[in-house]
Amino acid sequence: MNKITYREALNQAMCEEMERDANVFLMGEEVAEYNGAYKVSQGMLDRFGPKRVIDTPITELGFAGLGVGAAMTGLRPIIEFMTWNFAILAMDQIVNAAAKMLYMSGGMYKVPMVFRGPGGAAARVAAQHSQSLENWMANVPGLKVVMPSCAADAKGLLKSAIRDDDPVVFIENEILYGEVGDVPAGEYTIPLGKADIKRSGTDITLVAHSRMTGFALQAAEELAKQGISAEVLDPRTIRPLDERTILQSVAKTNHCVIIEEGWRFAGIGAEISARIMEKGFDDLDAPVLRVTGKDVPMAYAANLERMTLPSVAEIVEAARACLGRA
């Protein structure tokens, strides 16, 4: 095991895959000479040269589409959005082109590419720079949606995403970029569509992805002090969703709280709780509860921002309510 940051893990994944396959290239705003707005691509220009690590103008729709065309003709683009907020400008290429190309071309044109960058709230950057779009993306057949919560997952999942033959939406988290984690030494990949039990427990299942996985682990720590054994499950891939592992956990604990940073309406928690209701109803001893971001645009003021995001205290409270110990 090596101790490296989430950011370094992503960098290693891209470098290893670019060494492995000459068709892989990285393109986006400030990825080359600036070494990445968040330094994820640090050193890659020096290592791979300007043909494979390419700075673009500020033109998200254009370079997202460039990635689609390049992927259709056999390359494996990694298209970096400085943040996913800006990917909204590229939605036509992601949803109408990348996601549907294989289907509407009757299976002729694969689109093996990765759209990646940080999503979710950063710190004090207000409404337009703090939001979660994974439910938009996961709604679209043809896309895969991956959201790592730690360095080891970031590396293994990004390597799989780059090798995948479908368009993969890879949503990182800005706050997590500096987090250090244990990463296996040497070559490894993590398959897409496999959840991970981050902490075993018997009383309640906490399902959380991306930055909320850390919040759920802190909540589980707190619940343990109160005599409650919480299992923390990170789906890691939102689509395809590892329903099986979620249902197995709920069958064991009979209780479930789903935590997500994004808005509640038609969110990832809504989808997972519907799935549990449809397929695991008899395993439930209580309704599934959700802890989500508040249903408002993100404010700038520190207190309002804090109130908007889910908190460890809210997760603990929801778990206790679910278990009838509120």
Partner 1 sequence: MATKDDSKQARMLAHEGRDYPLNTLHEMHDMMLFIRRFEEKAGQLYGLKKIGGFCHLCNGQEAVCVGMQHASRPTDYVLTSYRDHGHVLARGSDPVAVMAELLGRSGGLVKGKGGSMHMFDIERNFLGGNGIVGEQVPIGLGVGFSSWYREDGRVTLCIMGDGGINQGGVYESFNMAALWKLPIVFVIENNQYAMGTSLDRASAETHLFKRGISFKIPGMQIDGMDVLAVEKHMSEAIEHARSGQGPILVEAITYRYRGHSMSDPATYRTREEVDEWRTGRDPIARLENLMIENGLATEDEFKQKDREIKKRINAIAKEAEAQPEPDPAELWTDVYASPINDAYPYPGRVD
Binding site for partner 1 (CB under 8 A): 25, 51, 56-57, 59, 61-75, 77, 92-93, 96-97, 102-110, 112, 141-142, 144, 164-166, 193-194, 237, 239-244, 275, 278-279
Question: What b/e sequence results for 32-44 when a residue is b if at least 16 CB atoms lie within 10 Å of its CB, and e otherwise?
Answer: beebbbbbbbeeb
Q: Name residue, tokens 């449809």.
A: 278
Residue 78's beta-bridge partner residues?
A: 26, 114
Q: Which of 35, 93 has the CB closer to partner 1?
A: 93
Side chain identity at 317, as an amino acid letter? E
Cis peptide before 77 (omega within 30 of 0): no
Is the Cβ of residue 77 or residue 262 nearer to partner 1 in the bound state?
Answer: 77
For partner 1, the closer CB: 97 or 217: 97
Q: Is there a catalytic annotation at residue 60?
A: yes
What SS3 state is found at 29? coil
Please pick, among 29, 129, 172, 305, the residue that the annotation labels catalytic. 129
Q: What does each C-alpha distance from 197 to 4, 76, 96, 129, 259 come to in angstroms?
A: 21, 31, 34, 30, 15
Q: What is the nearest approach in angstroms of partner 1 to the Cβ of residue 148? A: 16
> Is position 255 annotated as part of the catalytic site?
no
Residue showing tokens 């599934």: 288
Whether 101 and 154 have beta carbons less than 8 Å apart is answered as: no
**Are 43 and 10 contacting, i.e. CB atoms less than 8 angstroms apart?**
no
Residue tagged active-site, from 16, 60, 80, 243: 60
Write down the least CB distance from residue 69 to partner 1, Å. Answer: 2
Residue 78 or 322 having the CB closest to partner 1: 78
What is the distance between the alpha carbons of residues 108 and 105, in angstroms, rounded to a whole number?
5
> Please, what is the minimum distance in Å from the beta carbon of residue 250 to partner 1?
15
Q: With contact defined as beta carbons under 8 Å apart, do 192 and 242 qualify?
A: no
Instruction: Kindly state the smallest distance separating residue 303's Cβ from partner 1, in Å.
Output: 38
CB of 82 to partner 1, least distance (A): 16
Specify the residue, 223 or 284, whose C-beta has the smaller distance to partner 1: 284
User: What's the rounded Cα separation, in Å, for the pair 244 and 240?
Assistant: 11
CB of 229 to partner 1, least distance (A): 26
Q: How far apart are CA 26 and CA 24, in angstroms?
A: 7
Q: Which is nearer to partner 1, 210 or 308 (CB)?
A: 210
Catalytic residue numbers read 60, 129
